[in-house]
A and B are shown apart, each in its own frame.
Chain A
Amino acid sequence: MSSTEFFQQLINGLSLGAFYALIALGYTMVYGVLRFINFAHGDVFMIGAFCGYYFTPRILPHFSGASAPLGVAAVLLVTMLTCAALGILIERLAYRPLRSRPKLTVLITAIGVSLFLEYGGQFLFGADPKPFPELIADRPLENTGALTITTTQLAAFIVTIVLLVALTFIVKRTKLGIAMRAVSNNATAAALMGVNIDTVVSFTFGLGSALAGAAGILYSLSYPSIDPLMGLLPGVKAFVAAVLGGIGNIPGAAVGGIILGVVETFVGGSAFSTYRDAIAFALLILILLFRPAGIFGRMQAEKV
């Protein structure tokens, strides 16, 4: 492998990993607060992509010329808000009534919500793959020598970093973030100290779903074919990335996503491309054998 090919594959891997990271952030945040895996997360990601598909032709024509980037930001914002609302609604209708029930009940419900969104999406949007509109022109950047990096790859990377920093800030520095961590630590004690658990949980779901919405748009810009089942596999891979990084840990999700993307890309570019997922996942199992709580996770003794 020449050095050009090596660096090109690294860029490919980083940009693929950025998408996994972006989805994994939402997974890990909900888990961090509620200790529950929201399997519908990948489907909110799909709804985000369809929001982009339907909103773009309605919003973008109002912005032209120099204000076009504002239009893109508007599509992104409206999509994130729609997804946040959807996330809060899902939590309110499907998960909240089960909060005091065993975790398994909620988990199964989450799978139900996931299937509902997938097949509801097929009913609503149609099952055939749809072309995603060119929100930003996907073209290679200039002056990068023998290497190519496209505008959408760069955008995905930048947005992932910005959202990662913003999320860390929210969780570590804001009042709601402190409340989130308090609920995560001990929900009953937090409630006794005056934290409104319902608000915190709604906020967490809203934030996680908004992230999924943003990921949906960025992902579809790079891979412009969207269908109601598109969230399934990225959802599973992002979940794996979150576990790899240490589920519940925000920088861990990002690192896990990047590792998964890079490993997949290097195996995919080799003569073993047929066994790509098998090799990538075998490697993940290996990492988890040595660090069972994930790369950034800490083992916690649970009282029985």
Chain B
Amino acid sequence: MIPFTRWFVLSALCLCPGLISSASAQDIIIGEFASLTGSEATFGINSSNGVELAKEEINNSGGLLGGRKIKIIVEDDQSKPGQPSAAVKKLVANDKSVAILGEIASSRSLEAAPICQEAKIPMVSPGSTNPAVTEKGDYIFRVCFIDPFQGTVMAKFALDHLHVKKVAILQDVKSDYSKGLAQFFKEYFTSHGGQIVGDRSYTGGGIDKDFRAQLTSLKTSQPEAIFVPGYYTEAGLIAKQARSLGIKVPLMGGDGWDSPKLTEIGGTALNGCYFSTHFSVQDKNPNVQDFVKKYQAKYKALPDGMAPLGYDAMMILAQSIKTAGSTDGPKVRDALASVKDYPGVTGNITIDEKRNATKSAVVLEVKDGQAQFVTTVPP
């Protein structure tokens, strides 16, 4: 009997860590998947920083649901297709997350959304702007505007602000985001007197680095501006190669350009180029300035457009858990669906019946390596 008793005591000891961790299961576990490495690494890192900042603020002010702390489990999807589904399956099944935050890239959010929908766990995307993302189901939300809006904003901007009528498009064929922006730009632009004089594509995600072939053929169609709705790595290289081929017209893009790396890679080639995004550090709005101060204090750097989206996503999720009074999936879902006029860093956010955020966009111009605030375009 003695060996058995000893075995019993030993196994009880072994269970102790389990007991301790089940005590901390009082924490509210929120899963996050983000591109912390790979070609869109700065998006993942910055949005993740924003989430972290919001989490600290909530936990420092007493947590949620009677003092329960939020615990974030982050999985890196390496900016690669295939990884988000694996990451989210793990977050849902193994880590028992009550909600999922992520991603910036629409292709990757689209991959994860069906998994959250099936598990009836709310997913809040900070920055995926392709409309199809929230169409995956009634548990999928976002705190950013969508491609039709962003494509339309840039088409409006090209017509009214730049006064151009002939625009060429260079889109990333691998990205749902890029194709969406291009499509809605085209629709608005052509129906309001503009003309698309050329349309070429490339493969993004760090695959194509030479765009001279496409640019050379676009140049012959003599556009007055070129719409490049891709991500910052490619946009920087495209600007450089366009200028070296003697293309002097402005390039325009969407929030995929919004990273300090854009001008580090593209340099002066980007001067006089425009892009739409969610947020500008130069915006005088007190919410914005307050956020910038807190962000700088923690990370010693200026936030780009993705950090405040991560922050708003976390904050809105936390508020909804509070409203729901529970971490139960369907209840949190209902609370998220009823968010109205939430004063976020990236504007006043109302979740509409399609679970998209209605809010304004800002347009920035690149001048001497800095993105300067030009105008705000309301919804």
Contacts and interface: CB of A to CB of B under 8 A. Distances in A.
A224 B265 contact: yes
B216 interface: yes
A9 interface: yes
Given A131-B261, A148-B244, A274 B213 contact: no
15 contacts: A12-B210, A12-B213, A15-B212, A130-B264, A131-B264, A138-B244, A140-B245, A148-B244, A224-B237, A229-B39, A265-B210, A265-B213, A269-B200, A269-B213, A273-B200
Interface in B197-237: 200-203, 206-207, 209-210, 212-214, 216-217, 220, 233, 236-237
B228 to A, nearest CB: 14
B261 A270 contact: no
B173 A274 contact: yes
Given A129-B265, A230-B206, A273 B214 contact: yes
Contacts of A129: 39, 41, 206, 233, 261, 265
A148 B38 contact: no
Nearest to A225: B265
Nearest to A228: B37
A143 interface: no
Nearest to A4: B220
Interface string B11-48: 00000000000000000000000001111011001000
Nearest to B264: A131
A5 B42 CA distance: 37
Contacts of A12: 210, 212-213, 216
B92 to A, nearest CB: 25
The number of chain A residues touching the other chain, given as a range, is 35 or more
Nearest to B232: A129
A294 B217 CA distance: 31
B245 to A, nearest CB: 5
B142 interface: no
A223 B206 contact: no
Given A269-B200, A277-B203, 9 more contacts: A12-B212, A13-B213, A148-B246, A225-B237, A227-B206, A233-B206, A268-B214, A269-B216, A273-B213
Contact of A227 (B39, B203, B220): B39
A127 B77 CA distance: 12
A198 interface: no
B37 A223 contact: no
Contacts of A230: 206
A258 interface: no
Interface in B255-313: 261, 264-265, 267
A224 B326 CA distance: 50
Interface of A: 2, 4-5, 8-9, 12-13, 15-16, 122, 127-131, 138-140, 148, 150, 222-225, 227, 229-230, 233, 264-270, 273-274, 276-277
Contacts of A264: 213
B55 interface: no
9 A-B pairs with the lowest CB-CB distances in the bound complex, closest first = A127-B37, A268-B213, A223-B209, A128-B41, A269-B213, A12-B212, A131-B264, A269-B217, A265-B213
B69 interface: no
Given A148-B244, A225-B209, A229-B206, A128 B217 contact: no
B240 interface: yes
Interface string B176-200: 0000000000000000000000001
Kindly name the residue among A2, A9, A225, A233 whose own CB sees the greatest number of chain B CB atoms within 10 A: A225
A223 B213 contact: no
Contacts of A15: 212
Kindly name the residue among B202, B212, B220, B237 whose own CB sees the greatest number of chain A CB atoms within 10 A: B212
A151 B343 CA distance: 51
A130 B42 CA distance: 11
B246 A127 contact: no
Contacts of B212: 12, 15-16, 265
Kindly name the residue among A4, A122, A127, A265 whose own CB sees the greatest number of chain B CB atoms within 10 A: A127
B217 A270 contact: yes
A138 B220 CA distance: 22
A283 to B, nearest CB: 15
Given A2-B220, A5-B217, A269-B216, A127 B233 contact: no
Contacts of A273: 173, 200-202, 213-214
Contacts of A274: 173, 201
Given A148-B246, A274-B173, A128 B45 contact: yes
A225 B230 CA distance: 15
Nearest to B41: A128
Contacts of A269: 200, 213-214, 216-217
A47 B278 CA distance: 36
A139 B244 contact: yes
A15 B213 CA distance: 11
B205 to A, nearest CB: 10
Contact of B216 (A9, A131, A140, A229): A9
Nearest to A122: B37
B207 A223 contact: no
B213 A266 contact: yes
Contacts of B265: 129, 131, 224-225
Contacts of A2: 220
Given A127-B37, A150-B244, A270-B217, A16 B233 contact: no
Nearest to A19: B210
A252 B340 CA distance: 66
A266 B216 CA distance: 10
B38 A225 contact: no
B293 to A, nearest CB: 25
A107 B342 CA distance: 57
A179 B82 CA distance: 47
A140 B213 contact: no
Contacts of B207: 233
Nearest to A127: B37
Nearest to A16: B210
B38 A127 contact: yes
B261 A223 contact: no
Nearest to B261: A129
Contacts of A277: 203
